[in-house]
Structure formats: structure tokens, C-alpha cells
Structure 1
């Protein structure tokens, strides 16, 4: 029996025009975007569709934008009768997965993600992140160990074989990029992000977010969910709020998450939300699985056709 996983896009996948075809084609999608616009202190629709003030790449706006567009795509998949056996999301995308698993509803999700984006957007702008290409986990860790003589630098995103993202204090990350080739890296690329996400430099920000979470009522997931912090399935004896707080300041174990789902029988992955970054990661992890995506009406139709063939 085929098992389907829904994967939700993270930050960096945004583009101007995302969600527009959903909005123009579906009353359900239109309702979600319009509802989000009434909840937020800025015009999310304008940012997603036109971005005349060039805000879409600022974390404060990026996070709610991707969350809402992902929920629009999810709603259309659900209307077509497609259900997930398991959900997961990359970093910010984990909030779309939590919403898909009914841990909180759409309205609560918009509020949570907007606060998360605001906090992360103002966090430690002295830090940066870089992708190390062509290194395994052990060698990437060796780069961090050597570069830590210049400051804090840690493994941030364990994406797929040959792609690991590091983050930390700017000077230490710059030095890590300089020495990475000595450890066998093909390339080291500094990423256009506003802070050293998923490193210990975000601990204070995470704790502030945790205080907000304390007042929220979260339900147990109604669909199995694989969490970034664990690289594995969430179990009900764990503290979900604690894991959500930890997620901001610890590594995203994406490769482990995908391998765990495949080991559990998942053979079809549908990336939901803008871009195809996660599809690329899955392809590098296991080429034998089916990989589909839904980022606009065209890709939705193609995905539905592939699932029904």
C-alpha cells in the first residue's frame, strides 16, 4: 500500500506572485488569504502578489507569506481528496505541517508564525549562514570545530548527502567557508538570510517565543508528524511546545527525517508551498521514491494527474 508524505516549504523558497493562481482560481484559497490579511498588520496579499515595497525577503513578512500560501495549496489538495499518511516541514514549514496535523487551526497558525517571523527577523544580525557542498556530516563538523577558534559556528541544516548548512557568528562562518576546501568541500556559499537560524545564537529568541507558546493551547497531532529536532516521528509522551522552542536554536535533521519516513513505508512525497527545494533534497536522498509538488494551479493539476495514473 502506497504511503504519502506532505512536505512543507521553508524560508528561502518565496517568490513574487506565489499563491496568486490559487487566489484567482479557488474561493477556498481566496478566503484563507483574505482572512490572513485581516489578522496581520500588513497587506500580505500585496507582498505575495506584487511586493511593490520589496518586503517578501524580510523574515518578518516571509514567514507568514509562505505559511499562508502553503495552507492555500494544502486546502486545494484536501478538496481533491488527497490525504497524507505523515506530514513534515522544513524549519518554518514545520508550522504548516503542525497546522495540517490539526495541532492548531489556521487563525492560530497565522498568529504564531507572524510572531516567530518577527522575532527571528530581529535576532542576532551579527550572524550568518553558509552552505557547505560536498562534505559529509563528520567533515562538516570538523570544519566547524576548526573555525570555532574565531567564534560560534555550528551545524544548522542537515539537508541531504553533500549539502550541510552551518551558522554562527559572522567572522567564524566566514573563516569556515575559507577552510572548507581544505576538508574536501566543493564549494562554500554564504546564504542570503538575516540571522544564524537553528544555532545556539537563537536560544534567547527561542525562549521569548516559548513564553508566547505557554499561553497557547496545542492539540495532539491527528496525523503522524516527523519533527526537525528529532529527525523522527513525534510521540505523545514528548513535550511538543518544548520541541517547537528547541527547533529555533538546534539543527534541522532533514535527511534523517526523510530516511525515517521512507523506512516507514512512504514512497510518495508531495512538496507543498513555493519552490522545489525539498523535492531536490529528497531526490538526493533516495531517487526511487515518487516526488511531486504543489506551488500553483498548474503543478496542482500535474500532481493530481500523477496520483490518479
Structure 2
């Protein structure tokens, strides 16, 4: 079996994530303690106790999800020899993939994504930007609608996430996203669902944040990856440190091409994708992208045992 690792992004978090693994495994507790020490605040307490509104703030969400994902990965690796051939993540999850691939140290990654969240939060004033999921429309048609609305309104709306066939997220100003959603429904989309997010991620409104974040990336040690990591921006595998740095800089304002990421991993020979992190959203998307790929997820003691059983049988 050829195994790929996938790691979730923002939206997967919930209060109490990882509690059963933290209770049972010193490895998980040590991972969270390392994050607490590097960040200088009690991320562990926030993850386990909330409040939820605080956990949803992007500069807390990002290090929280990365820490949980890496804790779950380390616990799994302690129990079974995973031997993954490739890794990828959805947006923020790409940083977890790079830690798993030994391109980034966990300590540097948790610091980076905390600063990434702060810069993303500051890039667009609260309430001015948003995102919406458009269901039942092809990429080219939706891209044309976004371009037309941008011309008409004079404000940005762009494709942000290509999650699976029939599910595309758009991002931009509140007015432009709303208008594009209505136009998409009028043109045949089944639904346009506003998302509860703190900003318009993965569109050109994030370019100021990307510029500042690029300086942090340049000051961070990035090594060649031990296994290929399929990047969101181009759905291509990367292992060289210079390439990794480049795609991370562009990731903030470019679409997340998760559908193409999965197809790329499949083309590389991966026949099982293992999701490490809270929830199982990516596993659901993967089944819609390619029903032939086996999936498993690890987020608590029960799913850990199920994943180990699938990996060892």
C-alpha cells in the first residue's frame, strides 16, 4: 500500500480536539507543551477548554490546528511505521505536511503560522472581506462570473479553494462575494453558502500579508523535504527548500487546488490517503475526487486504532 498524508486547514478546529490522545500519550502532551513554550501562551488550554470564539480567531486557529495535527501524526508514528511516500495539506495544513516531511521544524512552523494568522487578520479590516462556497458550478464558468463582478463592482472576488468537483470557494470583499454568489445561482449553481471566516483568504486581498510573511519565511530555516510535498498553488510535488519557500509565499493569495493535489498524489501512486487532524472533512472530499482512493483519519483514540488496523492488515 502506498500511503500519502493529508492535513486539514482552518474550519476543522473544535474545542476539546485531541483530548483522548493527550490523556493517553506523552508524545501528544509533549507536542502541545512545545507549542506553548514557543508561542509564549497556553495554546493547550485554549484547544481543550476554549472558548470557541477565541479558538476561531485565525492567529489562534492556525497554530492550534498545526499542533493537533502534528501531535496526532507523532502518536501514530510511535505506534506504527507509516512510511508515507507523499504529503499535502489544505491551506494551513501544508505547513503540517512540511513538518511531517522534515522540511520545517515543528517549533519554527508553529511560530510561522501564528505570525501568518496575525498578518492575514490584519490585511483586511474586520467585516470587509468574506468567503462563500459555491456548489454545482465548473471552475471556468465561476471564474468568469468573478471577473465580471469584479469589473462591475470595482471590488475583488476570486476563486479561492477548489475543494472537490462541484465545490468551489470564492473570496473577496463582502459586496463582491455576495453579488458573485447571486450571479452563480442565477447561472445554474445549486447554492452559494456564506462561510463563517475572519477574512478573504487565498485571494489578491492577501498580497500585503504575503509580502510581510515572505520576510518571515526568508528568515526561517527550511530544509529539503524527505518526501515530496504537493503544493496548493500548483498541485506539483516539491522537495527542494527554495521551491518550498516560493510556493509558501504565493499560497496566501493563490487558490488552494486541493482537487488537483489529490489527483497528483494518485498519479504518483498513492492509493491510501491518511488524514491527520481534527475532523474528517478532507477524507470526504477525497472520496468525491476519486472513489478508488482508500481513506482513514486520526483525531482521537478510536480513529487511531482504526487507522492502525487499516495500515497493518
Aligned twin of 1:292: 296
TM-score, normalization: structure 2?
0.95
Q: Is the 8 Å Cα contact of residues 69 and 278 (structure 2) preserved in structure 1?
A: yes
Aligned twin of 2:20: 21
**Selected match of 1:139 from 115, 138, 141:** 141
Please list every run of 5 or more consecutive structure 1 residues that lacks an aligned counterpart in the other structure.
none
Aligned twin of 1:87: 87
Label 1:237 to 1:208 Cα distance change in 2 as closer, same or farther (>3 A). closer
- Bigger shift: residues 90-99 or 235-244: 235-244
Residue correspondences, number: 308
Q: Is the 8 Å Cα contact of residues 143 and 183 (structure 1) preserved in structure 2?
A: no
Aligned twin of 2:194: 190
Aligned twin of 1:247: 251
Q: Pairwise mapping of residues 43-192 of structure 1 onto structure 2 (< 5 A)? A: 43-52=42-51, 54-79=53-78, 80-124=80-124, 125=126, 126-148=128-150, 149-150=152-153, 151-192=155-196
Label 1:300 to 1:53 Cα distance change in 2 as closer, same or farther (>3 A). closer
Deviation for aligned residue 1:291:
0.8
- Bigger shift: residues 114-123 or 236-245: 236-245
Aligned twin of 1:222: 226
CA displacement 1:257-277 (0-9 Å, x = unmatched)? 101111111110111101111
Aligned twin of 2:217: 213
Q: CA RMSD in A?
A: 1.3
CA displacement 1:37-63 (0-9 Å, x = unmatched)? 122232111111111473111101100
Q: Is the 8 Å Cα contact of residues 103 and 241 (structure 2) preserved in structure 1?
A: no
Aligned twin of 1:34: 33
Post-superposition, which runs of at least 4 consecutive aligned residues in structure 1 deviate over 2 A? Answer: 235-240
Please list every run of 5 or more consecutive structure 2 residues that lacks an aligned counterpart in the other structure.
none
Q: Is the 8 Å Cα contact of residues 224 and 241 (structure 2) preserved in structure 1?
A: no
Deviation for aligned residue 1:30:
0.7
For residues 246 and 82 of structure 2, what CA distance do their matches in structure 1 show? Answer: 31
Deviation for aligned residue 1:237:
8.7
Deviation for aligned residue 1:12:
0.4
Label 1:128 to 1:54 Cα distance change in 2 as closer, same or farther (>3 A). closer
State the secondary structure of the residue aligned to 2:12.
Answer: coil
Deviation for aligned residue 1:239:
2.9
For residues 269 and 94 of structure 2, what CA distance do their matches in structure 1 show? Answer: 21
For residues 218 and 268 of structure 2, what CA distance do their matches in structure 1 show? Answer: 32
For residues 306 and 20 of structure 1, what CA distance do their matches in structure 2 show? Answer: 23
State the secondary structure of the residue aligned to 1:288.
Answer: coil
State the secondary structure of the residue aligned to 2:193.
Answer: strand
Deviation for aligned residue 1:145:
2.2
TM-score, normalization: structure 1?
0.96
Q: Is the 8 Å Cα contact of residues 274 and 295 (structure 1) preserved in structure 2?
A: yes
